[in-house]
Structure formats: structure tokens, C-alpha cells
Amino acid sequence: MSTIASLKVGQLGIIVEENQHSIPLKLLEMGCLPGAEVEMIQVAPLNDPMYICVNGSHVAIRKEVASKIKITNLDCTDGEK
């Protein structure tokens, strides 16, 4: 299953209910909730950290955490690159 870390810049995904306890509390509190839409805005060199927009919150997280949050990939047509 894909995770936030597997999103390409411009792609969207939905955080799944399953395995939600691996989402750190702090991220959950910042709006990274199951069912929320995630957009990959930008990645730093070596894909780390990752700059995402989730539930209207723009945050940067490390790849290590991003790869723990499972999503369903929404095929994205308006993504660039």
C-alpha cells in the first residue's frame, strides 16, 4: 500500500483509517487525520523532508514519518512534473 512518502510532487492521496495509530499524535493534532486529503507540495533534495498540505495545514515532515502514514493514491491529473 502506498504511503505519503510515495506521493510525487503535485499528487494527492487520502489517509486511510487502517494503521492510524502510527500517525504521531502531533501530526494528528495538526490535521493529519484518517480520511483527510494529502497533497505533496514539494520535496527537499533526497526526498527528505517532505512538504505536504493536509486538511488545509501546510507542514513539512521527515520522510521517516511520511513513510509510516498509509494512503490511497488518488490519480492526479493536475499534478506537475
Partner 1 sequence: MGKSKIQVSLIGNPNTGKTSLFNSLTGLHQKVGNYPGITVDKKQGACKLSEGKEAIITDLPGTYSINPTSIDESVALKVLQDTSNSNFPDVLVVVADAENLKRNLLLFTQVQDFGIPTILVINMADQMEKKGISIDFEGLERKLQTKVILISAKKNRGIQNLKVAIENYQSLKSNANFKETAKKIDATYFDRLQEVNPKKSIYELWLGLTQKNVVIAHNEDFSDFSDDVSKLNQYQHKETIYRYQYINSILKDNYTIDRSKGQDLRSFLDKIFTHKIGGYLIFLTILVLIFQSIFNWATIPMDFIDELFGSLSEVIKGTLPEGKLTDLLTDGIIPGIGGVLIFIPQIAILFFLIAVLEESGYMSRVVFLMDKIMRPFGLSGKSVIPLISGTACAIPAVMATRTISSWKERLITILITPFTTCSARLPVYAILIAIIIPSKKVLGIFNLQGLTLLGLYGLGFITALIAAFILHKTLKVKSKSFFVIEMPDYKLPSLKNILFTVLEKTKSFVLEAGKIILPISILLWFLATHGPSSYTKVEEEFNASISEQLTAEELAQQIASLKLEKSYIGIAGKTIEPIVKPLGYDWKIGIGLITSFAAREVFIGTLATIYSIEGVEDEGTIKERMEAEINPKTGGKRFNFATGMSLLIFYAFAMQCMATLAIVQRETKSWRWPLLQLVGMGILAYVSALLVYQLLQ
Interface positions with partner 1 (CB under 8 A): 20-21, 23-31, 33-34, 41-42, 44-46, 48-49, 51, 55-62, 65
C-alpha cell at 30: 495538526
Q: Which grid cell is 35? A: 480520511
User: 1 or 44, CB closer to partner 1?
Assistant: 44
Helix (H, G, I), strand (E, B) or coil at 43: strand
CB closer to partner 1, 37 vs 73: 37
Tell me how far, at minimum, the Cβ of 24 lies from partner 1, in Å: 6
Cβ atoms of residues 4 and 74 within 8 Å = no
